[in-house]
């Protein structure tokens, strides 16, 4: 049923036309500035980008590939000067390297990938910390000689902390203590904490591991549950730690939430094992009314779960150092959605319920290393690919992006996942009992079922005020602006799937206009839309364009020589470059 929407809209902008072409489009009256492109030199001594002469050493001083999460930390409270953090989720070798078509283990056994190219990929993963400032002309620029500039790569030393640190299942020949690891990989969305750190979720880490486990390994079921064993990258061919026949515990050191202090470029990033190990999408949270910090976590796989983590300790706003290890102690929960609109958070705690030795768990470390299996045993609700989850501090409502699930059958429908072959995804809204984010109870409802409302069999529920441009499919990342309004970015729209590019939509969540969506920005062909992140005054909106020019047809992959677009440079010989952008209003003012 389509809701009636007759109220006053809270978004003023004039929406753009949905569609797909070679470039990006923003609503009239707004400016798009391309801030950082893949390969841009970010240190004073970094070399200029030359795609035909790229090396790992150069790449480690240049902006990385495919940003997903973007966060901004004000310096001295300024919305116009601060640290921008961007992760670099993954690489598209077919668009980065001349003469290298899309590689995988099934086709050419990564025959075109050399060690030099793999090392470039490893240096293009991870993240960047950049000091940026907005000038009197309204444009942003990097402070090039900043003491904060940092590149994190797949080789950056990191600590492993929390209940699983030091466990035998995390020990390798390079790390007999099981407490340190090199790099973070496939970092998807994330969050920033009120104590000024950056949280980043390691997502599809399975694709980086090569080889076969030794016969009878205790990790066989664990690795199967995470899809380890079908490599998408050639790293294991040249680096033993990515070959599970040689280092069978290395995958257990990936798939965590990483906490990074962007204000100390010499700090060691920390993998916080208390928050569980799975295909972490994001890590947005808020300070609960009792002072504890609560992080909402999605596990992006068909039929996987929604989680939250509640710290034991309270956030100390007056003493930054006191919060340094807050994320090492607390309780992880997994969500169960009941048909009557209520729900429970089930503790993912060793010794409780089925999480005992009878099921192979000897400690909380075991529970965390195999978080998914714990969720299975607890009877959590199997969701349609949980992506970003954001809490709205104005209303305490929590929005869960469920991007799609083409494998759900009619028999597998439940009230929280109400469509079989769910191609377009939906958004679930949760409200904790007593607005207490530490509560184990919540109420929930579906905010919107996505897809084209003019096609009856899609079963979309955008409001009747939503125009033909205003609907979207495949919600992925999201942001709540300072007014408490929801913005949703998408991944998976293209000419074939929906006749439109991915982009950013603003959706009403309150009052009579609830369920009304409007189109603000769209990406060039082949790309997905990431970020989004608003400065505290809503005057600057940071967005990321991932994998522009990538083919939507797996049988006809685009290449360095023939990408779908050469955005954003549009120069012969220059491949498309994933980039981070900032949107501002012409003449100044809020994005609204
Ligand atoms: Fe990296 Fe779940 O998207
Ligand atoms: Ca995502
Ligand atoms: Ca987000
Ligand atoms: Ca995505």
- Note the pLDDT tens digit of each residue in 390-445: 999 999 999 999 999 999 999 999 999 999 999 999 999 999 999 999 999 999 99
Tell me, what's the pLDDT at 553?
A: 83
Tell me, what's the pLDDT at 552?
A: 84
Spatial separation of the C-alpha atoms in residues 410 and 236, rounded to whole Å: 40
Closest ligand 1 atom to residue 387 Cα is 2
Sorting pLDDT into bands at 50, 70 and 90, what band is 110? confident
Residue 261 CA to ligand 2 center (angstroms) comes to 23
| C-beta of 202 in contact with ligand 1 (< 6 A) | no
Which ligand ends up closest to the CA of 529?
Answer: 4
Closest ligand 1 atom to residue 186 Cα is 1
Q: How far is CA 564 from the centre of its chain?
A: 24
Dihedral in degrees, nearest 10, Cα atoms 88, 91, 92, 93: 150
Q: Check if the beta carbon of residue 470 is closer than 8 Å to that of residue 519.
A: yes
Instruction: Kindly state the tokens that stand for 8.
Output: 């006053």
ipTM over 0.90? The verdict is yes
CA-wise closest residue to 578 among 14, 47, 63, 41: 63
Tell me, what's the pLDDT at 416?
A: 98
Residue 107 has pLDDT above 80, yes or no: no
Q: Compute the average pLDDT of residues 178-192.
A: 98
Tell me, what's the pLDDT at 129?
A: 99
* Topology classification of domain 25-77+84-95+110-174+187-203+255-585: Neuraminidase (2.120.10)
Sorting pLDDT into bands at 50, 70 and 90, what band is 196? very high
Cis, bond preceding 568 (omega within 30 deg of 0): yes
Residue 581 has pLDDT above 50, yes or no: yes
Tell me, what's the pLDDT at 8?
A: 84
Tell me, what's the pLDDT at 326?
A: 98
* Sequence-separated (6 or more) residues with CB below 8 Å from residue 438: 288, 290, 292, 294, 310, 432
Residue 220 CA to ligand 3 center (angstroms) comes to 33
Ranges of beta strands (E only) in 491-546 are: 503-507, 517-522, 528-534, 541-546
Residue 543 CA to ligand 3 center (angstroms) comes to 11
- Residue 345, CA distances (Å) to 249, 296, 331, 337, 519 in order: 30, 12, 11, 9, 34
Neighbours of 86 (CB within 10 A): 30
Of the two residues 382 and 3, the one the predictor is more confident about is 382
Residue 3 has pLDDT above 50, yes or no: no
Give residue limits of the domains in the chain: 25-77+84-95+110-174+187-203+255-585
Residue 216 CA to ligand 1 center (angstroms) comes to 32
Each residue of 489-518: pLDDT tens digit?
A: 999 999 999 999 999 999 999 999 999 999
Residue 467 has pLDDT above 90, yes or no: yes
**Interior/surface letters 39-50, b for 16+ CB within 10 angstroms, e for the rest:** bbbbeeebbebe
Of the two residues 112 and 473, the one the predictor is more confident about is 473
Spatial separation of the C-alpha atoms in residues 352 and 332, rounded to whole Å: 12
Each residue of 135-181: pLDDT tens digit?
A: 999 999 999 999 999 999 999 999 999 999 999 999 999 999 999 99
Spatial separation of the C-alpha atoms in residues 174 and 177, rounded to whole Å: 9
In the 3-class helix/strand/coil scheme, how is 348-376 assigned residue by residue? CCCCCCCCCHHHCCCCHHHHHHCHHHHHH
Q: How far is CA 496 from the centre of its chain?
A: 24
Tell me, what's the pLDDT at 9?
A: 87
Q: Compute the average pLDDT of residues 106-126.
A: 89
Each residue of 246-265: pLDDT tens digit?
A: 999 999 999 999 999 999 99
Instruction: Kindly state the tokens that stand for 281.
Output: 């999408």
| C-beta of 387 in contact with ligand 1 (< 6 A) | yes
Closest ligand 1 atom to residue 89 Cα is 1
- Residue 187, CA distances (Å) to 69, 87, 288, 308 in order: 8, 6, 26, 18
Residues with CB under 5 Å of ion ligand 3 are 388, 477
Spatial separation of the C-alpha atoms in residues 506 and 517, rounded to whole Å: 6
Sorting pLDDT into bands at 50, 70 and 90, what band is 536? very high
Give the H or E element holding residue 235.
helix 235-238
The CA angle 359-363-369, to the nearest 5 degrees, is 80
Tell me, what's the pLDDT at 120?
A: 98
Tell me, what's the pLDDT at 1?
A: 38
Spatial separation of the C-alpha atoms in residues 495 and 505, rounded to whole Å: 18
Each residue of 563-576: pLDDT tens digit?
A: 999 999 999 999 99
Give the H or E element holding residue 119.
helix 115-124
Q: Compute the average pLDDT of residues 82-90.
A: 98
Mean pLDDT value across the chain: 96
Tell me, what's the pLDDT at 417?
A: 98
Tell me, what's the pLDDT at 108?
A: 60
Each residue of 55-81: pLDDT tens digit?
A: 999 999 999 999 999 999 999 999 999
Residue 409 CA to ligand 3 center (angstroms) comes to 29
Tell me, what's the pLDDT at 7?
A: 76
């Amino acid at each position: 049923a389509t809701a009636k929407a007759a109220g006053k809209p809270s978004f003023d902008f004039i929406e753009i036309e949905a569609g797909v072409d070679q470039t990006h489009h923003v609503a009239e009256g707004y400016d798009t500035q391309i801030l950082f492109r893949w390969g841009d030199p970010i240190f004073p001594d970094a070399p200029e980008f030359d795609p035909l002469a790229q090396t790992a050493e150069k790449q480690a001083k240049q902006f990385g590939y495919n940003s997903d999460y973007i966060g901004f930390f004000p310096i001295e409270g300024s919305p116009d000067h601060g640290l921008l953090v961007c992760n670099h989720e993954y690489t598209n070798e077919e668009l980065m390297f001349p003469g290298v078509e899309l590689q995988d283990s099934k086709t050419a056994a990564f025959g075109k990938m050399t060690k030099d190219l793999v090392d470039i990929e490893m240096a293009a993963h991870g993240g960047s910390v950049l000091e940026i400032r907005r000038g009197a002309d309204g444009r942003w620029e990097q402070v090039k000689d900043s003491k904060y500039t940092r590149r994190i790569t797949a080789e950056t030393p990191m600590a492993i902390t929390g209940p699983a640190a030091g466990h035998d299942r995390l020990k390798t020949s390079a790390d007999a203590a099981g407490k340190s690891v090199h790099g973070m990989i496939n970092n998807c969305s994330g969050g920033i904490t009120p104590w000024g750190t950056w949280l980043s979720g390691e997502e599809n880490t399975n694709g980086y591991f090569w080889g076969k486990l030794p016969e009878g390994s205790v990790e066989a079921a664990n690795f199967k549950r995470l899809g380890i064993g079908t490599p998408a990258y050639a790293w294991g061919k040249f680096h033993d730690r990515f070959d599970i026949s040689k280092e069978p515990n290395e995958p257990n050191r990936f798939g965590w939430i990483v906490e990074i202090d962007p204000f100390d470029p010499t700090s060691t990033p920390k993998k916080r094992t208390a928050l569980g190990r799975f295909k972490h999408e994001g890590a947005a949270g808020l300070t609960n009314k009792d002072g504890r910090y609560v992080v909402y976590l999605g596990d992006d796989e068909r039929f996987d779960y929604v989680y939250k983590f509640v710290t034991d300790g309270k956030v100390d706003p007056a003493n930054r150092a006191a919060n340094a290890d807050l994320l090492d102690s607390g309780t992880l929960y997994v969500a169960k959605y009941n048909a009557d609109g209520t729900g429970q958070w089930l503790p993912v705690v060793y010794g409780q319920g089925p999480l005992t030795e009878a099921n192979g768990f000897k400690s909380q470390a075991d529970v965390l290393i195999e978080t998914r299996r714990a969720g299975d045993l607890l009877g959590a609700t199997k969701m349609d690919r949980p992506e970003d989850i954001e809490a709205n501090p104005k209303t305490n409502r929590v929005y869960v992006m469920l991007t799609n699930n083409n494998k759900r059958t009619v028999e597998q429908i439940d009230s929280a996942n109400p469509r079989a072959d769910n191609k377009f995804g939906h958004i679930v809204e949760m409200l904790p009992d007593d607005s207490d984010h530490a509560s184990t109870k919540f109420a929930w409802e579906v905010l919107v079922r996505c897809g084209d409302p003019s096609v009856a069999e899609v079963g979309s529920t955008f409001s009747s005020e939503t125009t033909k441009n205003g609907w979207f499919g495949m919600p992925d990342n999201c942001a709540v602006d300072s007014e408490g309004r929801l913005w949703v970015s998408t991944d998976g729209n293209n000419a074939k799937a929906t006749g439109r590019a991915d982009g950013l939509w603003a959706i009403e969540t309150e009052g009579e206009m609830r369920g009304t969506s409007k189109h603000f920005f769209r990406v060039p062909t082949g790309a997905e839309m990431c970020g989004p992140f608003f400065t505290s005054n809503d005057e600057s909106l940071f967005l990321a364009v991932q994998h522009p020019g990538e083919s939507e047809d797996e049988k006809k992959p685009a290449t360095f020589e023939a990408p779908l677009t050469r955005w954003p440079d549009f120069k012969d010989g220059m491949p498309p470059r994933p980039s981070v952008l900032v949107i501002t209003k012409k003449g100044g003012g809020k994005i609204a």
